[in-house]
Structure 1
């Protein structure tokens, strides 16, 4: 059904929605054709190029994980049939996602499966908006220049989620702290938030909960580099350390507190929580606000150069070896060698 200007009642282009509603029905979900989906994908990427790039990287990092079934939740619904998740089909589609530049081109030739996946990931209300920002805008300053990230993104949540968190804050103070995690965890972290189970079985020294620190160096060991999207303009491997907002609830946020000594003890803790550490026992008391992204680029460019010019490199090395062998076999070289002695 074609929609004229008179039929269009409302066009919502927000963090929460990107749909067309008509006078005929506000409740019926309208599935736009591929060309319309592609245009909306291009509009989204045009407004937030690097944010879209990182979002795709985070999805693919979860897909490449050996724990992919746990990390990739929610799973893209278009790859579920008869309640079975088709991981191989999703991998095949992700392998053919073109570069951001190619997606934005006027004559973009993109498969329908790729369009459906990107539309679900970027346009529909399935992922927070990752907005690029400057290092100077974040609330915590990195004293060590070696730990400064290449990119910083603000996590912008849908209006309803943002208001719910602000309501939980009420009159309480908001603290800021770092949290490091493996790259393959961030798809779930940004979808459902930091959860206590991320710490279970690994960091139980101070009891169960989400572990954070006011020192970035503490978190680096928990944020290893992971392979992401090979066509990313941000690099081929990434590591992310987050800056989180913590609602300063005395009963649910455990830390060193001069005014409340019992606050530094958590259930099943083996000792007192040290300074610069936070253990949050209720996931509703915190959210990820900034992503500090570290990237690797050089290895990819060197490897691709060698792969692309391998034949010529072999010829050059072979020619150089012939020159060296011929030089040392020359009788004149023997005279020079005796003279040097």
Structure 2
């Protein structure tokens, strides 16, 4: 294998992904990178890092140390240009993260999304996120079918940052949920302030455009099945839902809270314009 040639091939593909996109799209790519890096920090990384790049698996063992070394050599996405030098595996890992197309993240207008999906809620205004990303993925056939039968509604799910790589690619999985105060299932709430309590700020990729600490909340579309209606007579708090059928939850949006939002956006747009010659809107 000619690693110099292969590194240049992956570098070219990464540059094409970055240069041809708007700054808004590049922020979406950075979130993918950030969430993958965060999943590796967890003691549950074996589960939370799925999907994981197969070229960093040897003898059925994920090479976590090597993967972290690769991540450490990746600069900020807005700093990558033709003169950037990285090892072959770092270029390949970055290409894998950015080009993993089974799920795309699309930055949306916060106010517009809040108005269209959630309406004029006082709690959402009080806990307004810095960013909202739409999760672009193909819904399961069972979800589409049951939505036509029962209808749907939106609810929030709070979780640690390290869980969100798995959440965006695999959805919310009942068996991975550690909460059982009101029985087994995936816990959601109609109130964002409840979800935020379960979404502490966590450390992420140290060269993320979002800064070093993020908090994420999933906004999910939920099937209004008969079991949901029955919960109104249970001991559950009014704002809680416990969903036992994974097919009845679809992660629709990721709400992102950054500790350095204002500084990020100003510096990010300036760097993108200067280094890549992109126009923004």
What range is the shorter-chain TM-score in?
0.7 to 0.9
1:115 aligns with 2:78: no
Distance in 2 (CA, whole Å) between partners of 1:231 and 1:164 is 39
Q: Is the contact made by 1:209 and 1:279 (CA closer than 8 Å) also made in structure 2?
A: yes
Which of 1 and 2 has higher RCO (CA within 8 Å, sep 6+)?
2
Report SS of the residue matched to 2:133.
Answer: strand
Q: Is the contact made by 1:194 and 1:283 (CA closer than 8 Å) also made in structure 2?
A: yes
Query: Where in structure 1 do 4 or more consecutive aligned residues deviate above 4 Å?
Result: 43-47
Alignment of 1:51-90 (within 5 A): 51-90=28-67
In the alignment, structure 1 segments of 5+ residues that lack a partner are 1-31, 257-263, 266-271, 302-341
1:153 aligns with 2:130: no
- Name the counterpart of 2:17: 41
- Name the counterpart of 1:311: none
Q: Is the contact made by 1:57 and 1:228 (CA closer than 8 Å) also made in structure 2?
A: yes
Q: CA RMSD, aligned part only?
A: 2.5
- Name the counterpart of 1:339: none
Distance 1:255 1:61, change over 3 A: same
Q: Is the contact made by 2:38 and 2:205 (CA closer than 8 Å) also made in structure 1?
A: yes
Equivalent residue for 2:222, pick from 246, 252, 258: 246
Distance in 2 (CA, whole Å) between partners of 1:216 and 1:143 is 10
Distance in 2 (CA, whole Å) between partners of 1:246 and 1:58 is 24
In the alignment, structure 2 segments of 5+ residues that lack a partner are 1-7, 265-281
- Name the counterpart of 2:257: 294
Q: Is the contact made by 1:244 and 1:288 (CA closer than 8 Å) also made in structure 2?
A: yes
- Name the counterpart of 1:187: 165
Greater Rg over alpha carbons, structure: 1
Q: 1:3-56 deviations in whole A, cap 9, x for unaligned?
A: xxxxxxxxxxxxxxxxxxxxxxxxxxxxx9334433443257547111001111
Q: Is the contact made by 2:228 and 2:241 (CA closer than 8 Å) also made in structure 1?
A: no
- Name the counterpart of 1:133: 108
Q: Is the contact made by 1:182 and 1:226 (CA closer than 8 Å) also made in structure 2?
A: yes
Query: When you count helix as a share of all residues, which structure comes out higher?
Result: 2
Q: Is the contact made by 1:253 and 1:281 (CA closer than 8 Å) also made in structure 2?
A: no
Pairs aligned (count): 250
Distance in 2 (CA, whole Å) between partners of 1:155 and 1:207 is 28
Report SS of the residue matched to 1:171.
Answer: helix
232-241 or 65-74, larger mean C-alpha shift:
65-74
Distance in 2 (CA, whole Å) between partners of 1:217 and 1:148 is 10
Distance 1:116 1:45, change over 3 A: farther
Report SS of the residue matched to 1:290.
Answer: strand
1:292 Cα offset (Å): 0.9
Report SS of the residue matched to 1:251.
Answer: helix
Q: Is the contact made by 1:72 and 1:188 (CA closer than 8 Å) also made in structure 2?
A: yes
Q: 1:255-289 deviations in whole A, cap 9, x for unaligned?
A: 31xxxxxxx44xxxxxx223121111101001111
Q: Is the contact made by 2:185 and 2:242 (CA closer than 8 Å) also made in structure 1?
A: yes
Distance in 2 (CA, whole Å) between partners of 1:80 and 1:132 is 32
Q: Is the contact made by 1:254 and 1:273 (CA closer than 8 Å) also made in structure 2?
A: no
